[in-house]
Structure 1
């Protein structure tokens, strides 16, 4: 009986864990992930300007924290994953424009 109860609860637990795919992530989670991906790409694209990912992340986070109005962005995990994938696939010059990369429109 205990084993059958355990196996009947497992599908319910999985359903519960996947029931909210549209839940918005916190602004800190989104910005942290985007900054990390951007810095990884920028270090590869411009090693003279960005000597390391740590330097880049510290610079970007300092700029964001000192901004008068810290940007509040919201995205679902699916939107964030699409944005990060777009950043990873972007060509170097595509990251330096005034518009966010395709898939990252929620950053506007």
Structure 2
């Protein structure tokens, strides 16, 4: 049997936090659906059980709309830390966001890097 000995990354935790309102709403809906199953065994759901289910469904819909409308984490320059060199030969750097763990490459035209010059032309 294989065991996994690793923790979630910062990016994993950020994604969970971003989606937590939807996760919580889904758990409330699951609770309401379970209550409906138990109520069916006890003579049927009441008006209050149906209302609880409808409200939980509405919360899931609202939470899903809010989560999808929210922009993903944006890495700002002050959150980036240098973690290595690109190997392009021009001293360009690999940067990692200290908040979410996402990495990006910074090819700099000022160092004479062709990739940085091309990126500057496109932008």
Common topology (TM > 0.5): no
Higher helix proportion: 1
Which of the two has higher C-alpha Rg?
2
Higher RCO, 1 vs 2 (CA within 8 Å, ≥6 residues apart): 1
| TM-score normalized by the length of structure 1 | 0.29
Higher strand proportion: 2
